């Protein structure tokens, strides 16, 4: 009898759950790679995007939607979890972090609530996708594959044709755009939207033209999927989203935190019978601030699924919405073989940029973007001394610590207002918002990557590093000293004190800061020299860099070459970057640098990255032209 009661109760729960799920909306995501809002519905005069323009007339177009990074994989880790990549430790491009057990991709919660969830087909989350995240994730994944056609679904479709490789590769560009009609082609000479930070040359215009044509091909793809919904009789029961993972795949856009890299198109069409508030009326245009980490929580909210407490994103559609965002935040960390730690905070009008490594030039040499014609053209025209002032700025040997832009008056963000007294209050407000975000979200990107990896092995994930006992104090100390590292000579007492901190994450920034000051920090020479014996290899590397800038090359070089030869994976990359940065000071260790190019076993991707950096350094030092893998 008890068994029968249990069976009846279980059947009731299953049937009730299925009935509840059946009342929920279907949701389809149409996502594109590497495009800014170059669509007709966003007012672009050259865009040919009829299907997405029509979707916008039937839905809501967001003018202030942003991603949390200017590059795909870190963004995708945030989109699929609803959490900042810098909180999870997934900020470094081509990393492979571990998630805490209770942090799940949000489709897991949809599946538990009765949804059929598919992904066609890109994941690229910077972590191994946990089992149970998708019913199907493949190139064949589709809502049509669900066994029960009455089951509600969440289906993602990713268009990869407008990725930066579609611009850089002639064969891919031709393949993606092969079905365009003559009327859908662009005339490069007639394009009027070329940004002022590019040289106006035929080569650059060709890339800009290709971007438009790839977007038109993408629009046709989106139109086909919308038609499939209509053919299946599902269009009026399905909420359709269109978005991009970050900005256009060209220099000073992709990988950057300016609007050119993080501002994206976002269109959401909600059928009349599924509208739950006044924010979904057809033809609506809204300037509400939306972050890409808000996407997942909003889907959960629309589906009636409880949003887990650890999720940082905020729903912007559906019932019981929180107050709209006041600020958007973003981060840039390692991009393949180069580190450049940058943070962004912005409101609807003003954009604040904090450069944590201001002694690095904007255009560090990175293998992937250097393959593009526009990047090569930028370098060629720069070498000829013919770049315009806005383009030339990005070849400066250093960056300002802070940047501030009025994006309404200056949409291309080329006039830095950080030093303008008229904007002092705005600067302070956004600076404070940035520092509050760093501390509140536990920014693991301010911990050197080798230390992150070591502690992940100890704790099981990177998320927990700043959430264990003492984590709040460590987060505050790292935030304080990492900021002081670019504050110049006035910060030297803080930096010297940091060199004796009990945590390597803080000592690292103390050494970096002394190195940033250079010769004027001679009073810290003894403390830095002591750091050459630090337990942490990355602290030793930072101390060696500082000593090179203090003129003590002979003390520093053996430490750098030792780490380059014997260090762990990301430690070697740090050492290689310093050897590249110190230029002629590295000449005494050329043999050791050549030795680093020899094949090694059991190396992760940064084995390739070390080779790229060392090859680049040797090319400069020896006047050679080695192939960079």
**How far is it, in rounded angstroms, from Cα 491 to Cα 513?**
8
Domain boundaries, the chain: 2-164+216-325, 342-427, 448-622
pLDDT value of residue 15? 38
> Which residue's structure tokens are 């935190």?
257
Asked whether residue 82 carries a pLDDT value surpassing 60, the answer given is: yes
**How far is it, in rounded angstroms, from Cα 588 to Cα 418?**
41
**Residues pairing with 353 in the sheet:** 344, 403
**pLDDT digits over 362-421, tens only?**
999 999 999 999 999 999 999 999 999 999 999 999 999 999 999 999 999 999 999 999
Element (H, E) at 380: helix 373-383
Q: How many residues does the chain have?
A: 629
pLDDT value of residue 601? 61
Q: pLDDT category, 347, cuts 50, 70, 90? A: very high
CB 548 within 8 A of CB 567: no
Asked whether residue 279 carries a pLDDT value surpassing 90, the answer given is: no
What is the arithmetic mean of pLDDT over 90-108? 97
Q: Could you confirm whether 75 is annotated as catalytic? A: no
**How far is it, in rounded angstroms, from Cα 268 to Cα 58?**
9
pLDDT value of residue 444? 98
User: What fold, for 448-622?
Assistant: 1.25.10
Check residues 7 and 583 and name the one with the higher pLDDT.
Answer: 583
CB 369 within 8 A of CB 340: no
Q: In degrees, to the nearest 5, what angle opens at C-alpha 12 toward C-alphas 8 and 16?
A: 175
CB 319 within 8 A of CB 277: yes
Residue (of 41, 25, 18) closest to 298 by Cα position: 25
Q: pLDDT category, 3, cuts 50, 70, 90? A: very low
* CA dist 601 → 1, 570, 608 (Å): 64, 15, 12
- Residue 622's CB: how many other CB atoms inside 10 A? 13
CA dihedral 57, 59, 62, 65 (to 10 degrees): -130
> Which residue's structure tokens are 């269009």?
235
**How far is it, in rounded angstroms, from Cα 190 to Cα 200?**
12
- Residue 16's CB: how many other CB atoms inside 10 A? 10
**pLDDT digits over 552-573, tens only?**
999 999 999 999 999 999 999 9
Q: In degrees, to the nearest 5, what angle opens at C-alpha 307 toward C-alphas 304 and 309?
A: 155
**pLDDT digits over 428-453, tens only?**
999 999 999 999 999 999 999 999 99
CA dihedral 356, 358, 363, 368 (to 10 degrees): -30
**pLDDT digits over 13-67, tens only?**
343 343 344 479 999 999 999 999 999 999 999 999 999 999 999 999 999 999 9
User: What fold, for 2-164+216-325?
Assistant: Alkaline Phosphatase, subunit A (3.40.720)
**pLDDT digits over 508-547, tens only?**
999 999 999 999 999 999 999 999 999 999 999 999 999 9
State the chain's mean pLDDT as an integer. 95
**pLDDT digits over 186-219, tens only?**
999 999 999 999 999 999 999 999 999 999 999 9
Backbone angles phi, psi at 570, to 5 degrees: -80, -15
Q: pLDDT category, 146, cuts 50, 70, 90? A: very high
Count Cα atoms within 13 angstroms, Cβ side, for 453.
15
**How far is it, in rounded angstroms, from Cα 566 to Cα 574?**
13
* Secondary structure class of 342 (helix, strand, coil): strand
Among residues 72, 75, 117, 162, which one is catalytic? 72
């Amino acid at each position: 009898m008890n068994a029968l009661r249990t069976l009846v109760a279980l059947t009731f729960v299953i049937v009730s759950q299925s009935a509840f799920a059946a009342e929920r909306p279907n949701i389809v995501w149409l996502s594109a790679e590497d495009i800014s809002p170059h669509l007709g519905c966003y007012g672009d005069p050259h865009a040919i995007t009829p299907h997405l323009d029509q979707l916008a007339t039937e839905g809501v177009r967001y003018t202030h939607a942003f991603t949390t990074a200017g590059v795909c994989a870190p963004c995708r880790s945030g989109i699929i979890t609803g959490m900042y990549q810098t909180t999870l430790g997934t900020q470094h491009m081509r990393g492979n972090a571990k998630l805490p057990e209770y942090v799940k991709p949000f489709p897991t919660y949809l599946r538990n609530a009765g949804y059929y969830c598919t992904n066609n087909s890109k994941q690229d989350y910077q972590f191994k996708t946990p089992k149970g995240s998708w019913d199907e994730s493949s190139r064949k994944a589709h809502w049509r594959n669900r066994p029960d056609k009455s089951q509600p679904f969440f289906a993602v479709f990713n268009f990869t044709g407008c990725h930066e490789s579609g611009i850089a590769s002639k064969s891919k560009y031709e393949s993606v755009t092969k079905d365009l009609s003559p009327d859908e082609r662009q005339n490069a000479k007639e394009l009027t939207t070329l940004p002022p930070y590019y040289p106006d040359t035929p080569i650059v215009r060709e890339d800009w033209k290709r971007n438009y044509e790839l977007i038109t091909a993408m629009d046709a793809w989106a139109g086909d999927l919308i038609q499939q919904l209509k053919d299946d009789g599902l269009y009026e029961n399905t909420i359709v989203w269109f978005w991009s993972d970050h900005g256009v795949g060209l220099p000073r856009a992709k990988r950057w935190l300016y609007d050119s890299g993080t501002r994206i198109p976002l269109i959401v069409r909600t059928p009349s019978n599924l509208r739950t508030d006044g924010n979904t009326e057809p033809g609506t245009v809204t300037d509400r601030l939306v972050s890409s980490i808000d996407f997942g929580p909003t889907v959960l909210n629309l589906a009636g699924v409880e949003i887990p407490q650890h999720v940082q994103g905020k729903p912007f559609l559906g019932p019981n919405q929180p107050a709209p965002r006041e600020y958007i935040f973003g981060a840039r960390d390692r991009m393949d073989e180069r580190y450049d730690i940058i943070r962004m905070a912005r409101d609807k009008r003003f954009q604040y940029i904090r450069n944590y490594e201001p002694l690095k030039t904007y255009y560090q040499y990175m293998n992937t973007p250097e393959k593009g014609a526009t990047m090569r053209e930028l370098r060629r025209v720069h070498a000829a001394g013919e770049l315009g002032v806005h383009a030339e700025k990005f070849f400066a040997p250093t960056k300002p610590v802070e940047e501030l832009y009025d994006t309404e008056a200056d949409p291309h963000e080329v006039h830095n207002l950080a030093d303008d007294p008229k904007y002092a209050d705005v600067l302070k407000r956004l600076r404070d918002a940035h520092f509050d975000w760093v501390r509140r979200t536990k920014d693991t990107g301010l911990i050197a990557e080798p230390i992150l990896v070591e502690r992940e092995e100890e704790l099981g994930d990177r998320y927990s590093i700043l959430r264990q006992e003492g984590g709040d104090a460590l987060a505050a100390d790292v935030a304080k000293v990492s900021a002081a590292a670019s504050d110049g000579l006035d910060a030297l007492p803080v930096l010297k004190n940091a060199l004796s901190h009990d945590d390597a994450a803080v000592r690292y920034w103390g050494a970096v800061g002394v190195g940033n000051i250079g010769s004027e920090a001679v009073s810290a020479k003894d403390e830095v020299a002591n750091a050459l014996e630090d337990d942490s290899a990355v602290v030793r590397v930072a101390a060696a860099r500082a000593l090179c800038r203090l003129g003590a090359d002979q003390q520093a070089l053996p430490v750098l070459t030792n780490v380059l030869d014997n260090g762990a994976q990301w430690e070697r990359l740090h050492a290689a970057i310093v050897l590249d940065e110190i230029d002629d000071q590295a000449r005494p260790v050329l043999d050791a640098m050549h030795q680093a190019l020899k094949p090694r076993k059991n190396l992760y991707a940064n084995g390739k990255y070390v080779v790229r950096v060392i090859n680049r350094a040797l090319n400069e030092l020896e006047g050679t032209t080695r192939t960079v893998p």
